[in-house]
Amino acid sequence: MDNLANLLDGFANVVTPMNLLIALLGVTIGTAVGVLPGIGPAMTVALLLPVTYGMEPTQAFIMFAGIFYGGMYGGSTTSILLNTPGESSSVVTAIEGNKMAKAGRAAQALATAAIGSFVAGTIATLLLVVVTPPVVSFAISLGAPDYFALMLLSFVAVTAVLGASRVRGFASLLLGLVIGVIGVDQTGQQRLTLGIPQLADGIDVVVVAVGIFAVGEALWIAAHLRRRAAEVIPVGRPWMGKQDWKRSWKPWLRGTAYGFPFGALPAGGAEIPTFLSYATEKKLTKHPEEFGRGAIEGVAGPEAANNASAAGTLVPMLAIGLPTNATAAVMLAAFQQYGIQPGPLLFQRESGLVWTLIASLFVGNLMLLVLNLPLAPAWARLLRIPRPYLYAGILFFASMGAYAVNASPFDLFLLLTLGLLGFGMRRFGLPILPLIVGVILGPRAELQGRRALQLSGGELHGLVGGWVSWLIYAAILVVLLWPLLGRFVVRPLRGRLVTG
């Protein structure tokens, strides 16, 4: 029960007045920024990075945990109370949640979302505690070829599984990998620096994340700004009746069961489990007539799935250093800002830090529940913020954060360039996630690949290690050939299931 002792130590670190205050600050700011329309969880974390610049790593991590869960929760409030769909992971919540709100049941929708998020977050964080250590000990046994294969899988998975178009996904991934190449190579050679001395150290991942997520998004929204802001549905204090509880608790648990494993997979994300949860609840409900008109199960399940998958993404992120969604990618960038490299060694070198982070996830989750039930009306008022101020504010804080990384105006020009790239990607439907994953994992994949080839003297067979790498290459093949498999294997099977 080593881990339990570690976790208790982590709790001991969190439960000091100062750190509790920081956790509270983290969840409050995280929720407030996450509620703002147009700001998803990834942008929330990216924009709030500078808040932690002056802090000790421990306190910064406590704050991140709060911002992470707070931003997630804020997003669901937006999708329930605003009359328009937001980011992809809360689209499903919006389907029934928004209908409920329009039917005067906003309070119940917010309550089932808040309590469901708490239940799912707590269970999923517990699962994180149980699952992560074995994954770490497995990851430690891996060699350079296995790591290289794992990162390739990660590239292929975020590119080919998520998003609508593979070509566009690969275009985005390659752009990210090219950005990752910029800078001085391990041999001391300058690559793609174009003779600009500021590029010799490479482009800071924080600048990339803020540029692509915050500046790109703000410019894109500005180009298509609704001239009349979406209607906000007024809400009182969230509460649930006995009937609502009865109808909610099973969807919460089922949503958690969908969300966590999908989050932990290399290409999980929140979209698939929330869709699955919605479909399941629709099938199992005793009130099928309410679906499409505001069924509480359709909020409870997907919202739980969403939060559980967020906790699930922390497993590969902490244990192997693989980001599987945008928010985890930005968190990883934040860790690197502190010179901390997530991965199996993190648990050995910075054990106290990791367990403090995990403990503060529990604490932050509880705080969110306590905070969000009474504060919902206040969050709803945030949705009425005049849009010029909102997007001017995003550019303002993005500039501040990017400048503060290196105290260099050059980063601001870089930020704008990346923002324009993000703008173009949104215009042409290129997914953002592969680019960010490419920037973060690209250099590490190259390092592992070159290390593996060093052992084999440059022969390509060095890239194949033990059975793990064979298994991973097989998985990559399956992912790449999935459209063919889908046509000849999955679709006939599904057809048989539907007819039978």
Partner 1 sequence: MSGMTTRPDRGGEQPPRPPAVETSVPPIPEQPGAQRTADLPEVTRPATADVPPTVGEPAVDDGPAPRPDRAQYGVCAFLALVGGLVILDATTRIGHAVNSADPIGPRPVPILLGVLLLIVAAIYAVDVACGGAGEPEAGEDVDLTTPIDWRTVLLLIGAFLVNAVLIDRLGWVISGTLLFWGSAFALGNRHYVRNLLIAVALSLITFYTFAIGLGVNLPAGVLQGIL
Cα first-last separation, the chain: 48
How far is it, in rounded angstroms, from Cα 416 to Cα 420? 6
User: Rule CB under 8 A: is residue 262 a binding residue for partner 1?
Assistant: no
User: Rule CB under 8 A: is residue 337 a binding residue for partner 1?
Assistant: no
Contact 76, 90 (CB under 8 A): yes
Question: Considering beta carbons, is residue 228 or 242 the nearer one to partner 1?
Answer: 228
* Residue 301 CB coordination number (10 Å): 38
Three-class DSSP labels, 324-380:
CCHHHHHHHHHHHHCCCCCCHHHHHHCHHHHHHHHHHHHHHHHHHHHHHHHHHHHHH
Exactly one of 3, 25, 28, 88 binds partner 1 (CB under 8 A); which one?
A: 88
| Shortest distance in whole angstroms from residue 265 CB to partner 1 | 12
Q: Which of positions 203-242 make contact with partner 1 (CB under 8 A)?
A: 215, 217-232
Q: Which of positions 442-461 make contact with partner 1 (CB under 8 A)?
A: 446, 449-450, 453-454, 457-458
User: Rule CB under 8 A: is residue 286 a binding residue for partner 1?
Assistant: no
The per-residue b/e assignment along 231-270, b for 16 or more CB within 10 angstroms, e otherwise, is: ebbebeebebeeebeebbbebbbbbbbbbbbbbbbbbbbb
Residue type, 187: T
Q: Which of positions 458-487 make contact with partner 1 (CB under 8 A)?
A: 458, 482-483, 486
Contact 30, 74 (CB under 8 A): yes
How far is it, in rounded angstroms, from Cα 314 to Cα 342? 10
Spatial CA neighbour of 434 closest among 193, 208, 261: 208
Residue span binding partner 1 (CB under 8 A) among the ranges 24-32, 167-175, 320-328, 342-350: 167-175
| Shortest distance in whole angstroms from residue 292 CB to partner 1 | 5
| Shortest distance in whole angstroms from residue 269 CB to partner 1 | 10
User: 82 has which bridge partners?
Assistant: 232
| Shortest distance in whole angstroms from residue 88 CB to partner 1 | 8
Exactly one of 185, 377, 464, 480 binds partner 1 (CB under 8 A); which one?
A: 185
How far is it, in rounded angstroms, from Cα 417 to Cα 399? 13
| Shortest distance in whole angstroms from residue 124 CB to partner 1 | 21
Question: Considering beta carbons, is residue 374 or 424 the nearer one to partner 1?
Answer: 424
* Residue 458 CB coordination number (10 Å): 9
Strand, helix or coil at 190?
strand
Residue span binding partner 1 (CB under 8 A) among the ranges 8-16, 237-245, 362-370, 421-429: 421-429
Across 231-270, where does the E strand assignment appear?
A: none
Residue span binding partner 1 (CB under 8 A) among the ranges 274-282, 337-345, 370-378, 470-478: 274-282
User: 5 has which bridge partners?
Assistant: none
Q: Which of positions 14-73 make contact with partner 1 (CB under 8 A)?
A: 37-38, 50-51, 53-55
Q: Which of positions 130-159 make contact with partner 1 (CB under 8 A)?
A: none
Contact 402, 415 (CB under 8 A): yes
Residue span binding partner 1 (CB under 8 A) among the ranges 136-144, 160-168, 346-354, 363-371: 160-168
Exactly one of 103, 395, 464, 475 binds partner 1 (CB under 8 A); which one?
A: 395
Tokens 């699962």 correspond to 127
Residue span binding partner 1 (CB under 8 A) among the ranges 116-124, 176-184, 318-326, 357-365: 176-184
User: Rule CB under 8 A: is residue 400 a binding residue for partner 1?
Assistant: yes
How far is it, in rounded angstroms, from Cα 297 to Cα 314? 26
Q: Which of positions 360-389 make contact with partner 1 (CB under 8 A)?
A: 384, 386-389
Q: Which of positions 423-442 make contact with partner 1 (CB under 8 A)?
A: 423-424, 426-430
Question: Considering beta carbons, is residue 134 or 388 the nearer one to partner 1?
Answer: 388
Per the document, the length of the chain is: 500
Question: Considering beta carbons, is residue 72 or 135 the nearer one to partner 1?
Answer: 72
Tokens 């290399």 correspond to 266
User: Rule CB under 8 A: is residue 190 a binding residue for partner 1?
Assistant: yes
User: Rule CB under 8 A: is residue 326 a binding residue for partner 1?
Assistant: no
Residue span binding partner 1 (CB under 8 A) among the ranges 127-135, 239-247, 401-409, 470-478: 401-409
Residue span binding partner 1 (CB under 8 A) among the ranges 22-30, 107-115, 276-284, 337-345: 276-284
